[in-house]
Structure 1
Amino acid sequence: MRLPVAASACPACLGAPRAYGRTIAAFDYTPPADALIRMLKTQLRLSMAPVLACLLADAIRRDGGLPQGVLLAPVPASRASLRIRGMNPAAEIARSLATQLDVPLARQALRRLRETPRQTGLGRRARRRVVAGLFGATPVVRGRHVALVDDVMTTGSTVQAAATALIAAGAAGVTVLVAARTP
């Protein structure tokens, strides 16, 4: 079921503290737009990254923009995903987005501290358990507002874990930027 536009959180998220202030998504992960994500992730069409970044940049502008001095940081991919794809979809989108918005990109601001199983098919609680403590952040984020970039937001567990690491490393705040979100 789709959330009303005025809703600030889904019922499952109410009462759960978030490490990030807001989320901006270019579109819902539904047909036909979801094909753009699949082309990037499964067909390895890197030409989709600038398209997704353009759609996300438009959504950011419509939502009032990003704070002054923001730093973009992609969610790091697992080693297994990097071996399969040869690239990190979030990093490719972030690279194009940094160019379009003329903001700095900190590719290494976040790192994975361990490998995890794929989250596809896992429910909200299982996803939360898998990603708890998954990320570490570097001092480059200290005192900066960080815009965390990912391709798809499903339950928000991954971005929550990443934002938690950024805040622990001294980030002033975190905004989540995703090409698509599951409705």
Structure 2
Amino acid sequence: MNRFKIGLSFFLICFMFFIVVDSISASTDSTIENKLLNREVVDVTQEDGNIKTIYEELPNTFSTSTPLNLTKESNNIGILCATCYHYDYTKISSSIADYDYKFGWHPDFNGYTRADTYWFSSSTTNFSFSLSYGVVGIAVARGGGSGFSVDADYDRWSRPAVYGRLVLDRFEVKKYNSSGTLLDTYYETVPTSQRTYIKVLYR
């Protein structure tokens, strides 16, 4: 009976430990996911007629319970779980792939229209853009309001688009199992956006 109680107590302690680890991992992942998809905005300004968004950059080191590039890992494991593995990311380089990359259309304006001015507020709206490297999170000034304006030619059909710097961050990734044993080391490129701005395009 005493052995049963000891065994049950050990099981409960281990179970509570994994719950705590899982909770911590989930919190860490949500923070990184927020930085990647729901970009943290430092400032929204208007320079030379363009409305620019400045973002907070990714940290140089962080840990997740699931890889950022799920394509690589999906070939190696069947099911991802929060307590099976953890991944330590260390940034080794950062480069600007394109200084004026078109990320897509502004999400608050559907289709072309005739307008002499487009108005935007100081608050931001988020959307994502898919690349071969992964998904890029973007935040731009929300359409409407009276904070900023961009001029347009009323005699032409126009539509606001989002441009900016496409940045490729290169990370060394170390994969560990739940006991802390290093299983694999590989490299991963994570795309991000910087200094995005709104440009009016014509048809």
TM-score norm. by structure 1 comes to 0.21
More helix by share: 1
**Which structure has the larger Rg?**
2
TM-score norm. by structure 2 comes to 0.19
More strand by share: 2
